[in-house]
Structure 1
Amino acid sequence: MNDLSTILSEPVARLGASTITLGHALAFSALLFFGLFVALVVALWRSAKARAVAAAEAADHARDAEVRMAGILQSQAEMQGRMGAIAEVFGARQAELTQSIGQRLDAMTGRIGQTMTEQTKSTHESLAKLQERLAVIDTAQGNIQSLAGQVVQLQAILSNKQTRGAFGQSRMEAIVADGLPHGAYEFQATLSNGSRPDCLVKMPNGAPSLAIDAKFPLEAWNAIRAADGPELQKGAAQAFRRDIEIHVRDISEKYLIQGETQDTAFMFVPSESVFAEIHENFEAIVHKAHRARVVIVSPSLLMLSIQVIQAILKDARMREQAHLIQGEVIRLMEDVARVDERVRKLQGHFGQSAKDIEDILVSTSKVTKRGQKIEALEFGTQADGDAGAETPSRAPAANPSPRVADSKTGQLRLRVVEGDD
């Protein structure tokens, strides 16, 4: 112990006037070590406390994070639900929009197709009409060319007397044959005086026949057309007047026979222009022909005369068959009377049907009103229902004496149902 005290009391350093011994140094070292240890413990405690606080804060942050994450997840789920609902709405709207656009496109396509079809049809109709008109124009052009050729042929025909007579005869025969029935006329018939008119139209009821001459002289007329100067035209006109007068006198002498032919004969002119020229510039010839009981007729006047004769023949045939027509009319009136009677019966049936339909409409109207009252729960007013109840025209005959329960007393009463006779 003394050695230890001696060792501890040995000076190890000097700090100014103070001497630092080994004991002081050891005590200072121990004190310093203790302070470091305390500081270390405090530091460790503080570090542990800081770690605990940090851990608590981390746990709090973790809990907050979990809460926030749960909120985020919930918000995300809600957002996903809303997004799903929005997607469904958008999908439905898109489907509706697609359907609407499709319908509109289909309608527009249909209208466009219909319009194009109508335009195509109209175009085809216009083209068809245009083709028809072009065909008519082509036909008219062909007719004009054919007419020009026929005019040339007519000029050649009229230049020959024999051919000219055949031409007038053929036109007259065509008009007569088209207008009169077979057997009502005769061509080149021989009269009692030996003359042969070009046509002899047989009149009804034993009346004398009508003579028609088709040999009209056109040499002087052609000379009038061919004359260059006034003197030549005057001479040709005089020759034409003389030829016509001679021809009228021949017709009057040959074809007007008392009791065999009519008092008037026809002189057929196969040209409307020649007929008009005669009546305009040669009126004296027309008057002489009338006095000689010869009527100058053109193709149109001959056709009209033939139609009149046809009407006369038809009237004569009707007069001959008057009794048969009267009988047919009587039977027709009987048929009309039967039809009238049946129509009146049908009218009565239609009237009864209309009345039945009106009754049915009244019943359906009342049923509709009762249904509306039932739907609106309006059972308070029974007056209207009782007043509007439809009275059956015939009582049901399923049970001759049914038992009906009285709604007030509940007792069964016998009700005798009287039906209509």
Structure 2
Amino acid sequence: MEIWIAVGVGAFNALLLVLLLRRPSGNNEAAALALQQSLQSMHEKLERIERELRTEITESSRGGRQELTQNLALFQQSQVQQLTLMQKSIGDTLNQQLQQLQKSNADKLDEMRRTVDEKLQTTLEKRLSESFKQVAERLEQVHNGLGQMQKLADGVGSLQRVLTNVKTRGMFGEVQLEALLEQVLTIEQYAKQVETKPRSNQRVDFAIRFPGRGGADGEPVWLPIDAKFPREDYERLLDAQDRADGVAAEVAAKALEVRIRTEAKSIAESYLAPPHTTDFAILFLPTEGLYAEVLRRPGLMDSLQRDYRVSLAGPTTLLAMLNSLHMGFRTLALEQQASEVWKVLGAVKTEFERYGDWVEKVREQVQKAADTLDRADTRSRQMRRALKNVEALPEGEAQALLPKFDDALDDTDAKV
């Protein structure tokens, strides 16, 4: 507003100045005085108008501020009311949704409870039926097992009747002994039904083959192994022990000891013949129980080794002996292979010395060829210096007078 008033005053002053300038020059002083008075009066009016305008603007701004304050108060009250209504509406909506959610969750929980109850009932019925089925199957298996046990009892009785025969008992020990030998040794390291004592017509059940004095190609040395199974004496001993009859058990144990001594003496007389055999033999007892009863007899093991050079062995003891022998065979094979390797290395050494002579001869030939090439190169340079002043012919005339280099090489190869 003040800017427009100043612009209007300036425009009015400019208009008065233009009018004064257009009047005649004789009245300049009077005009200037009149203009000054007019300007003074105008200035006073403008100041009065400015004061009035300022007063009006101040009152107007004061009224505007009051109105704006009232409007803001009304707007704030309206917003508070709207927020209160909105809060109430949101609270009602949330409560309603929460109630719906609780109802939905309760319905789902009831449905899940019914589903779980149904599944539990179904699973329980299924498990019970499976359990009854398994129990029935197990009872059937037990029934079948009882039938098999009855058959096994019949088989044991048949085996007992079979083992009553002395020859059959011997075959039982031989079969078990052969199984142990096959488990540890190779087929080349033992033999069956061997006449270890020359011209005796007595054949031992099994014998382990050792290298002889002539090496691997010489006659072998045999270790006799014979299987014995004194069933009657052993059963009498077990029967007396079951009855807790000490006197009968001692009598049966002495009878078993006498039987073992008799068998050991027979083995020593029939199968031991150094140097064709080792200086001892092995008496194999096919059951651990029988072997343990024999070991209980005081001094029996030492007596058999000292008097008859016979060692007792049960299944476990014989297996340990065979493993030791197997390691010895492997060590011997390694020694033989080491000897062969040394022989091969000696031959390689001799051949390597000859190879060194050949290399030396080849080196001399190569050196001679290198010297010859050096002399040829020197001669070529001398010939090139000698032909330096000779005028070279064109290539066509040179090829007409001399053969091509490749053709000359082919002719040389053909002559060679």
Q: TM-score, normalised by structure 2?
A: 0.43
Q: Which has the higher helix share?
A: 2
Q: TM-score, normalised by structure 1?
A: 0.43
